[in-house]
Amino acid sequence: MAILVIAEHDNQSLKAATLNTVGAAAQLGGEVHVLVAGAGCGAVGEAATKIAGVAKVLVCDAPHYEAQGAENVAELVKGLAGGYSHILAAATPAGKNMAPRVAALLDVAQISEIVAVEAPDTFVRPIYAGNALATVKSADAVKVITVRTTAFEAAGEGGAAAVESVPAAADLGLSALVSRELVKSERPELGAAKVIVAGGRGLGSAENFHGLLEPLADKLGAAIGASRAAVDAGYCPNDYQVGQTGKVVAPQLYIAVGVSGAIQHLAGMKDSKVIVAINKDPEAPIFQVADYGLVGDLFQVVPELTAAI
Amino acid sequence: MKILVPVKRVVDYNVKVRVKADGSGVDIANVKMSMNPFDEIGVEEAVRLKEAAVATEVVAVSCGLAASQETLRAAMAMGADRGILVETDAELQPLAVAKLLKAVCDKEQPQLVICGKQAIDDDANQTGQMLAALAGWPQATFASKVSIADGKASVMREIDGGVETLSVTLPAVVTTDLRLNEPRYATLPNIMKAKKKPLETVKPADLGVDVAPRLATLKVSEPAQRKAGEMVADVAQLVDKLKNVAKVI
Ligand SMILES: Cc1cc2nc3c(=O)[nH]c(=O)nc-3n(C[C@H](O)[C@H](O)[C@H](O)COP(=O)(O)OP(=O)(O)OC[C@H]3O[C@@H](n4cnc5c(N)ncnc54)[C@H](O)[C@@H]3O)c2cc1C
Ligand SMILES: Nc1ncnc2c1ncn2[C@@H]1O[C@H](COP(=O)(O)O)[C@@H](O)[C@H]1O
């Protein structure tokens, strides 16, 4: 049977997370289809046809999918589910919002944030903030899964899938989007960045957070991340948060500045290739996962580092 | 308006759990247990809505072992009016919990259910969404602000790249994000008062729910440990390592 990947997009472009999800789907054995549900989302459907390994793109274009509310999209997916052995979404806020709703409508379990495929019915997923890895086997007819994007290679280009338009399901009218405020940034996305500079409470203020980290990030072409404490203190927007309950990242280089290294933070970055920690407290737990640790006052070290690169 | 708040008893967030040597699970014997932090936020939000005279009653519900009574008492000490324990020794997965909560909702008829966004033991992030699906209600997950007016909830929620505000019809399910509020500490008099609040116990069978797990855990293992790193003396040495050894800049 075929595998359905629910595309993540903003009606204009396909989000990179979709490519990693297709990468995971390719390990399941079966034809891979991608569903693009949105409004005026033809260009996204077009882009999806070019993903390597995708056989068919289902486009469902209707006004009530504009905001991609979980209620309406899950209803649509429920109607399509009959032909599929697996339904996959990225473990992003959008995927996590929708996939459990799809699973419950189908009366099946949902398998959250898989990091490996052992067999078409057996998957590995982190539990307890990544302090343990569970291997789970599903007995359900349809496996509804969210995929940790950092654990799977992105599918490449070069596909030539067919497009099929599918009829919309009913508008349930349960939810309406009032407003959406997106932070505009010239920087790479956290999820896709090769280098991340992350700041914690040690920065002390929003001015310091931006004043010290941005020049360093500029030099490295890096994305900026943060600990929850930095977000809570208002140093930066919430979507900078890295961790158990924020974003999971795995860049080539992660520089943690004034971050203590609570398990909830480590859960989101300990798969980075090289970790650098800058902290004035030699006992800070972040040093236990750092490849290179520098004990020092960040107010002195960070400008020095920026100048030296 | 009645608000239902599901609260889960989990290993305290400060505990670093250990994987059992035989790979059968994590060792939680003699480990500190607490209310799931996101559920504390849920209770706080519900109690604030009651204090603001938006809600009339706050009912806490927990599914699991008899010891979950403690979690319900903690919720009542924060201000919940009563507790319902769905008692079972069985392993409960999110779909089963959602079905139990749906059955409780059928009886209690709440206008709002406030779940945590995620239990910090299974890290599933599913139950609220599943409950909303089973009940045919709207969902507003990862909430950082909730207001109720004219039979609707307006919820600001955290999404990739920023925030959005949804208007959902009631009844609805909201799930909490960390920024929603800062939960209060229960005072001693309130802890004493909570002991006298009503706590009802039911069994899954009383609710007609089959809680059999759908996923079998084949094994639980330790994640790969990072190799011990090194301390560098100064910025010059750090830059040298990054350029010439790690070759990442
Ligand atoms: C349910 C739950 C979920 C959570 N999820 C997350 C999550 O997803 N992500 C996350 O990050 N956190 C999360 N947390 C919070 C987490 O437990 C920690 O509280 C948080 O990560 C701490 O952030 P921090 O390291 O910036 O702050 P702190 O722990 O306060 O550390 C600040 C560090 O800065 C250092 N410092 C201070 N001044 C200087 C200076 N001048 N120079 C150098 N170093 C300095 C200090 O030595 C200290 O180590 C969660 C918590 C809970 C309860
Ligand atoms: N056993 C349970 N008893 C009561 N509430 C629960 C239980 N399991 C999950 N929940 C609720 O569902 C939320 C999300 O849990 P999960 O889907 O397991 O990550 C929790 O924060 C609780 O609000």
The length of chain A in residues reads 309
Considering every ligand atom shown, identify the ligand nearest to the alpha carbon of residue A99 and give its number: 2
Ligand 1 contact, A201 CB (< 6 A): yes
What residue ranges of chain A have pLDDT lower than 50? none
Is pLDDT at B230 greater than 90 in this prediction?
Answer: yes
> Is the model's pTM score more than 0.90?
yes
Q: Determine whether the interchain pair B220/A135 forms a contact, defined as Cβ–Cβ distance below 8 Å.
A: yes
**Spatial CA neighbour of B59 closest among B190, B198, B202:** B198
Is pLDDT at B228 greater than 90 in this prediction?
Answer: no
Does A186 contact B at CB distance below 8 Å? no
What tokens appear for A289 in the block? 């996962």
How many A-B residue pairs are in contact by the CB < 8 A criterion?
Answer: 244
pLDDT tens, residue by residue, B84-140: 999 999 999 999 999 999 999 999 999 999 999 999 999 999 999 999 999 999 999
**What's chain B's average pLDDT?**
97
At CA B105, angle to CA B101 and CA B108, rounded to 5? Answer: 130
Ligand 1 contact, A110 CB (< 6 A): no
* Torsion sign across C-alpha atoms A36, A37, A38, A39: positive
pLDDT tens, residue by residue, B5-34: 999 999 999 999 999 999 999 999 999 999
Q: Determine whether the interchain pair A134/B238 forms a contact, defined as Cβ–Cβ distance below 8 Å.
A: no
Ligand 2 contact, B211 CB (< 6 A): no
Q: What is the rounded distance in angstroms from the CA atom of residue B248 to the CA atom of residue A254? A: 10
pLDDT tens, residue by residue, A62-113: 999 999 999 999 999 999 999 999 999 999 999 999 999 999 999 999 999 9
Q: Look at residue A110 in the predicted model and tell me its pLDDT.
A: 98
Any bridge partners for residue B158, and if so which?
B163
Confidence of residue B155 (pLDDT cuts 50, 70, 90): very high
Average pLDDT for residues B221-231, to the nearest whole number?
91
Choose between A245 and B62: higher pLDDT.
B62
Give how far A67 is from chain B: nearest CA, Å: 10
Exposed / middle / buried, residue B206 (Cβ in 10 Å: 0-12, 13-18, 19+):
exposed
Q: Determine whether the interchain pair B229/A136 forms a contact, defined as Cβ–Cβ distance below 8 Å.
A: no
Q: Does ipTM come in above 0.90?
A: yes
Confidence of residue B63 (pLDDT cuts 50, 70, 90): very high
Identify the residue among B32, B123, B182 best suited for mutation to test binding to A, counting A beta carbons within 10 A and taking the highest.
B123
Considering every ligand atom shown, identify the ligand nearest to the alpha carbon of residue B12 and give its number: 1
Ligand 2 contact, B88 CB (< 6 A): no
- Whether the CB-CB separation of B144 and B177 falls below 8 Å is answered with yes
Residue type at B74? Answer: A
Query: Which residue in B19, B166, B234 is closest to A178 by CB distance?
Result: B166
